Chain A
Amino acid sequence: MKPHSRVALTFLTHGFAIAAGWAIYRAEVATPSTAMPESAAARTTKKADRTRTDDASGEAILAKVLKEVKQEMPRSYHPGADTKPFQVSQEIQDRIDNIEIPADFQAALETILASAKTPWSKEDRATMIALSYHWIARDPQAFFRWASSGNDPQRLQFSGWVFNVDTEIYRRSGAAGLLTLLGKADRLTGQVRADLARLLGFSGDVNGLVSAADGMPLEQLQYFLTGAARNWPDSKQAELVQIAMERDQPAMLIAYHSNRPNSGSSLLKLLEDPSLSESFRTKLTENPQLRDLLRNDPAVPLETRMRFGGNPFQMAHNDVSLLLDKERDWAFAFRKGEATAEGILAMVTAGTPGLAEREPAALRMHLFRELAEESPAKAMELLNDLPEDERGEEVLFVSRTHFDGVEPDKFLELLQQVPANTPQQWESRLDTWNRRSFTNNERLQDGYVEWVQALPPGLDRDMAHYSLARAVNESNPSLAASLRGEVVDPKLQQRIAKHR
């Protein structure tokens, strides 16, 4: 081959090679799944997908939410458990120290109020609090006169705002700083007094509380002292008992305990405290609120609860309600099939052993009433020991007296636990329809009408139409007439013919 021919051939074959490369690319991207191995781009996408799935899986979503709930609602929290003094943020403290003092406080505050968006930004909030702090320091009467005037909704947020200002005044000047404001706070006097009580309580400030109580008008004293006691630190309980006795204020100790877990048991322990004077102990014992707290605490021995006026039926109702939210929301778990009725009954029995031994039927009945609203058919196992007639009557009674606001489907599910062909319960069945159609129509309006109209044929459909017609008869007579027209049960038709 001649040299020029060889060059031409080389160009030609390399041209073919380039074309082949082009063709390979096209073939690769056109049929990636069949003709070629997985492309790099596809592999990258899959990897990204896997990462995304990990971040946004059901488990991850739930874990994030549960973490937030735990942070926002720590179970160990109760007033007094945390003895750190209550303080505003460092940012607000700094703003108070560094803010430029305006010539006209009112104008400065109103400028922010007019432009700030609710909820306020941290920036606006800190400035509002700092300006208020300095205005109060210079002319408290002018500040409170302005703050008390009008009813601009922005100012409704005042409680948190003023509380922050009061908190900082207390941190810097003690109880005396707030006590001097009491005569000058206009319509916010009550707020400042309540803030002082809370701050003294949070801080466990014995001297501050005593000096403030000394100057407090008699008609405000109990409210003030109980306000402080409610938030008092656990570590200073002995001092609080002392102040309560000196001031003859048993309500302080009741307020302190009522704001904490196991209040009945703690108060029972307090009554046995040998340091109490006999007259003070008698006053405590006779206090109606203390008696109420004692008899409503399942951890207090049954005889003691009864001695303090406990009634077995009411205690059963009380204990079931309390225990159903002990550690977890048991009714919710039951609704979702995560707990059985008998399992929950065992938990309730263990939670109130004295009452369970004395009133097992009452406890079982109250539990049925609570659980029936969640999963009616499954709750029926709690009534297994009752004769059929009694069981039917109990179901119909509960469907009438409970089930306010409960889904109509759940109500129907409960009713269906009672055979429709029992003549002796026909009237009770109609009673419950008459009650529930009234409440369901009140809440769900045309949504309930649609629900009734979609019911399958049978006695419950007829009773639903009849009872709904009763409920809407005055407000919507034409709807009532059309509902009555749907009733096919002869007995109900007779009743319609007779009465309307």
Chain B
Amino acid sequence: MKPVLKIATHLAAVGLGVFLAAKVLPQRASVADDAASGGKSRTTAASHSAPDGKAGRASRATSSQSRSAAFRAAWAALAKEPLTMAERFTAQKKLLAEWAKIDLHGALQAYLGEAWDNRNPARPMANEPLGDAFAEIFKEQPMQSWEAIRHDGILRNRLGWIWMNRVAQTEPGLVVAMMAEFPERVQAEAVAEVFSRIKSITPEKRAELLAKLTTSGTPEQVEKWLSQAYRETRETGDPAELSAKWQAMPAGGARLLQMTAWASSLRGADLANFSAEWDKIPADDRGQAARMLLTQVDNQSPALLEVIERGIEAEQWETFGKNDIAGKLRGFQTDRQQLAEWALTLPPREEVRSVYNLAISEKLLADPAAGREWLEQRPAGDWHRERGFIEMALGSLWVKGDIGAANRAIDAITDTRAKEEAIKCRYDWQLITSQKGVTRVE
């Protein structure tokens, strides 16, 4: 063989060696490609199948970091653009929504860095004009996105209700199961959304969700949620049957559910029917029964005042303090003079103070001179008299904006602590309504 030919055939053999190696070791080659590219963006099948999975995770993370950095740059550059408010909000919402898909945490931090009040002229009534940008990601990745907001008190309160609202449309069961994690206001919104606003929930599904609700929180929370759910949608079953049903059940969530349904079914009951049902309640259950009834009645309930009396009789003070029982008197059809006289029979306790105030306020404001005379018939220092004048001052400020009338009411108060309280109320009114000067309690 000539030397040139020898060299050529040996070189060809080297090439054949390279070829064979490449054929036999393909997987190796792929891994090496990743290494060669610095692991920046490759997510080949080989990298996914790496034994510990680290290569895949690392490359994905780096890629999303670099994309997130691009969004951060775009976000910063947006400030230089001469956009109007409405245009700027629209651009920011679009950026946030896309950014959230690749780096929710980064998008949330950017969101927190913008003004928290609503300046968007296109949506002047929206609470969180930019918050909607996260609606899609909340719906698509509910658990991951909840994890991203739940640990931050500000995010939880600003975005929690958007998360709840989005997820409730497709997964109401998940929302119900997670109730206890929400801020209190979001809990109330969630009950309204799932048990009242979403019309596509069938009666069977509703029953299933109600049962789930009974296991989603503490007994106090469950009682509160059930009360609201039945307030939102009234029970139409027969009170006598419902009463018999819960009385035959052992203590627990299922019994509480039936009891709430029973209380709800009595919302429209007249006095005779209400009394007949009340008489059947065993003494041991009367506290809880009164509590459930207090939350279910409204200003259309003929037995509203009787239910309030039963609540007082059963000493359900906390229920008066934590629920707007007094608000049920607004629009309640009754003679206001008689209602004011009834209010004088209320016990002198702070828990029922707001019920007392609501029951007398219309009488006091309709004819302040007569109201004043009515209060002055009571001895100085009397609880009903002193609190009555505080209510008169409050009504003069908040309903009539008449500080002169409020001052006259305050002057009529004889008890020092009561007078200080009235002055503090006037101070709060001055702060909240942005009065130039304020009168303080030193």
| A residues neighboring B (CB under 8 Å) | 10, 13-26, 29-30, 32-33, 38-39, 41-42, 45-46, 48-49, 52-53, 56-62, 65-66, 68-69, 72-73, 75, 152-153, 325, 327-329, 331-333, 335-338, 373-374, 397, 400-401, 404-407, 427, 431, 434-435, 438, 443-451, 474, 499
Contact = CB atoms under 8 A, between A and B. Distances in A.
28 contacts: A18-B13, A20-B14, A22-B17, A25-B17, A25-B22, A25-B25, A29-B32, A32-B36, A33-B36, A39-B33, A42-B33, A42-B37, A49-B37, A58-B77, A62-B78, A62-B81, A69-B94, A73-B90, A325-B84, A325-B121, A327-B82, A329-B84, A373-B117, A405-B118, A431-B438, A435-B432, A443-B157, A445-B183
B84 A328 contact: yes
By secondary structure, the B interface counts as helix
Contacts of A397: 436
Contacts of B66: 53
A68 B21 CA distance: 52
A474 to B, nearest CB: 8
Contact of B25 (A26, A61, A406): A26
A128 B436 CA distance: 58
Given A325-B85, A325-B121, A328-B84, A406 B115 contact: yes
A265 B256 CA distance: 67
Contact of A49 (B41, B73, B121): B41
A4 to B, nearest CB: 15
A496 to B, nearest CB: 12
A446 B183 contact: yes
Contacts of B328: none
Contact of A21 (B16, B77, B185): B16
Contact of B115 (A46, A335, A401): A335
A32 B40 contact: no
Nearest to B119: A331
Contacts of A73: 86-87, 90
Contacts of B152: 447
Interface string B72-98: 111011111111111110110011001
Nearest to B14: A21
A373 to B, nearest CB: 7
A153 B431 contact: no
By secondary structure, the A interface counts as helix
Contact of A61 (B16, B98, B157): B98
Contacts of A60: 70
B37 A46 contact: yes
Contacts, number: 211
Nearest to A15: B13
A427 to B, nearest CB: 6
Interface string B1-37: 1000000011111111111111001001100110111
Given A29-B28, A445-B153, 20 more contacts: A10-B1, A15-B13, A17-B10, A18-B17, A20-B17, A21-B15, A23-B17, A26-B21, A29-B25, A32-B32, A45-B41, A46-B37, A58-B73, A59-B73, A61-B71, A328-B81, A406-B117, A438-B431, A449-B153, A451-B154
A325 B119 CA distance: 11
Given A22-B18, A331-B119, A400 B157 contact: no
Interface residues of B, number: 81
A65 B81 CA distance: 12
B41 A18 contact: no
Interface of B: 1, 9-22, 25, 28-29, 32-33, 35-37, 40-42, 66-67, 69-74, 76-88, 90-91, 94-95, 98, 115-119, 121, 152-158, 183-185, 199, 321, 420, 424, 427-428, 431-432, 434, 436, 438, 440-441
Given A32-B32, A57-B73, A434-B431, A14 B13 contact: yes
A65 B84 CA distance: 15
A332 B85 contact: yes
A168 to B, nearest CB: 29
B190 to A, nearest CB: 15
Given A332-B88, A431-B438, A41 B13 contact: no
